[in-house]
Amino acid sequence: MSDSNLESTSSDFLREAIKQDLKEGRFTKVHTRFPPEPNAYLHIGHAKAVWIDYGIAVDFGGKFNLRFDDTNPLKEDQEFVDGIIEDVRWLGVDWEDRLFFASNYFEQMYDWAVELIKKGKAFVCDLTPEQMGEARGTITSPGTNSPWRDRSVEENLDLFGRMRAAEYPDGAKTLRAKIDMSSPNIHMRDPVMYRIRHAEHHTQGNKWCIYPSYDWAHGLEDSIEGVTHSLCSLEYEIHRPLYDWFLDELGIYHPRQIEFGRLNMTFTVMSKRKFIELVEGKHVRGYDDPRLPTLAGLRRRGVTPEAIKEFCRRIGVSKNDSAIDPVHFEECIREDLNKTAQRVMAVSSPLKVVLTNYPEGEIEYMEANNNPEDPEAGTRKVPFGKVLYIEKDDFREVPPPKYYRLSPGKEVRLRNAYFITCNEVIKDENGEVLELHCTYDPQTRGGDAPDGRKVKATMHWVAAETALKAEVRLYEYLFSKADPDDVEEGKDYTSNLNPDSLKIIEAFVEPSVKDAKPGTRYQFERQGYFCVDKDSNETSLVFNRTVTLRDSWAKIEKAQTK
């Protein structure tokens, strides 16, 4: 909890508000919480929320709770509790011993509901969901009072007790707050506090058949935990008057809710419903598909928690609706992986090279830097031989202007090895290049020429004899439109799915990666960052491309073809 502090953190409207609260004595400490509902896997948008909540607690020397907002047994499941805990822990967030469940407060919430009934501020309502909907009015017209609104306190107490005692079926009755059916804020029109649900709860079992609604429960949870600042997304702004109303009527400790804009990203989707549809529609391979912005997907793809944290820091926080271009995220991933990922050579589209003057059958081991950015990373030995593979794209029979790589008669450097010169291009009957015959200069071992001559390009390679075959999964944006929901009449976002979001190729990789465990991250030099997939095993290697390297050559080439 030391990597962030007040001085080094740029401020934002949330931190300013909190500073003000502290200054004015509204609160004397800072205590935040992250309150996910365990009904889905977390995505990068949640990561932003986590880093706002946790980051603020750290910055102000306060505390942070992880709390499951598990008030709806129909949607929630232990599976998601476990997944969310794993994800939040993976992000590097420390909630110490403060892992809580809203469901542990049900008894207290019940008592408070009884209190509100006694105050004449809540009543049992027999309206059906349909009737209640009609009586609510509309966005521009007031609602009408429930016929059950004026039941006596005694009757309400009795009925509410019977609700709890399982005397009624689902939906037969609700407990509602008695506020104002003509309020311009629909959420203040006698909102439901309890509904009947004969369903098993993942922590409570069958103890309860009435469950508190979000609006009733959330402020109470915050209050019980001594949270000072209940930070949530913009959609809850309109709920704040209700949040305040319950706390004020109860006269209990009153945290402050402040809302911020949630994270959206272009070229992807960020909703539980769509994740489910994409998985069930087989558009992706699961919730941890590396193309999904779920934390499980990002983790599998090879993204580091540090990159996510830095991304969240850079995008900041405001009350704007915004959609971030994924290039900003990719930049954060590169920045972190550049510092930490071991370099390795891999050829994804092989072209055979035969060194005609290299001794037949000989293999020598070239010393290679594991990470030029990190001297501590050490070196490794990479086998070199007479027959090599280079990248197809690193050879052009007719080089375009400013093409510095290999072409007939040109000399280039093979990384960590020798200079080679291309002498002969072997083709098949169709004119397709089959292989290159080159010579190497033994004087240039290690990469420098004793006579001081320079080459413009350095290329990666693997020795044919010792190369490992690997499946490499190349990912692109899941959607081909910045806004996947931008569709023609009658179509939905799935029509914007990018057909090329996953491309599987076979590559040759240097043998040092042989026993790499799933999750291990590498930089394939000059190509990008890759991560060993969980499908990988002793007999077949599988890599995911996390992100490509920044490619300035691609830019130059594009500019030239214009």
Stretch that binds RNA, among 210-218, 422-430, 467-475, 487-495 (CB under 7 A): 210-218
Could you say which of 1, 3, 16, 152 contacts RNA (CB under 7 A)? 16
CB of 234 to RNA, least distance (A): 6
Could you say which of 192, 354, 425, 468 contacts RNA (CB under 7 A)? 192
d(CA 132, CA 173): 11
**Binding residues with RNA: total (CB under 7 A):** 95
CB of 429 to RNA, least distance (A): 29
d(CA 378, CA 342): 10
Half-sphere exposure of 325 (CA within 13 A, CB side): 3
Instruction: Restricting to residues 296-335, name those near RNA by CB under 7 A.
Output: 314-325, 327-328, 331, 334-335
- Does residue 75 bind RNA (CB under 7 A)? yes
CB of 479 to RNA, least distance (A): 17
Catalytic: which of 197, 262, 352, 396?
Answer: 262
- Does residue 185 bind RNA (CB under 7 A)? yes
d(CA 299, CA 288): 8
Instruction: Restricting to residues 39-58, name those near RNA by CB under 7 A.
Output: none
- Does residue 196 bind RNA (CB under 7 A)? yes
Could you say which of 147, 372, 378, 442 contacts RNA (CB under 7 A)? 372
Provide the Cα torsion 275, 36, 255, 25; round to 10°. Answer: -90
The DSSP symbol for 497 reads B
Q: Is 33 a catalytic residue?
A: no
d(CA 386, CA 363): 8
CB of 484 to RNA, least distance (A): 14
Stretch that binds RNA, among 207-215, 246-254, 284-292, 500-508 (CB under 7 A): 207-215
Q: Per-residue DSSP letters for 130-157? A: HHHHHHT--SSS-----TTTT--HHHHH
The DSSP symbol for 518 reads T
Contact 353, 392 (CB under 8 A): no
Q: Is 262 a catalytic residue?
A: yes
Is 331 or 471 the residue whose CB approaches RNA more closely? 331
CB of 328 to RNA, least distance (A): 5
CB of 251 to RNA, least distance (A): 24
CB of 465 to RNA, least distance (A): 21
Could you say which of 61, 120, 133, 147 contacts RNA (CB under 7 A)? 133
CB of 258 to RNA, least distance (A): 11
- Does residue 360 bind RNA (CB under 7 A)? no
Collapsing DSSP states into helix, strand and coil, what is residue 421?
strand
The order of strands in the sheet holding 468-475 is 342-344, 521-524, 528-532, 541-548, 468-475, 502-509, 346-347
Half-sphere exposure of 142 (CA within 13 A, CB side): 8
- Does residue 127 bind RNA (CB under 7 A)? yes
- Does residue 17 bind RNA (CB under 7 A)? no
- Does residue 398 bind RNA (CB under 7 A)? no
Q: Smallest Cα–Cα separation from 252: which of 219, 212, 214?
A: 219
- Does residue 343 bind RNA (CB under 7 A)? yes
- Does residue 257 bind RNA (CB under 7 A)? no
> How many other C-beta atoms are found inside a 10 Å radius of the C-beta of residue 560?
11
Is 214 or 287 the residue whose CB approaches RNA more closely? 214
Q: Is 272 a catalytic residue?
A: yes
The DSSP symbol for 487 reads -
Catalytic: which of 19, 121, 272, 352?
Answer: 272
- Does residue 402 bind RNA (CB under 7 A)? yes
Q: Rounded to 5 degrees, what are φ and ψ at 180?
A: -160, 105
Task: Output b/e per residue, 363-402; b: 16+ Cβ within 10 A.
Answer: eeebebbbbeeeeebeebebbbbbebbbbeebbeeeeeee
Instruction: Restricting to residues 422-481, name those near RNA by CB under 7 A.
Output: 446-448, 456-459
Instruction: Restricting to residues 516-545, name those near RNA by CB under 7 A.
Output: 523, 525-526
User: So which residues are the catalytic ones?
Assistant: 37, 262, 272
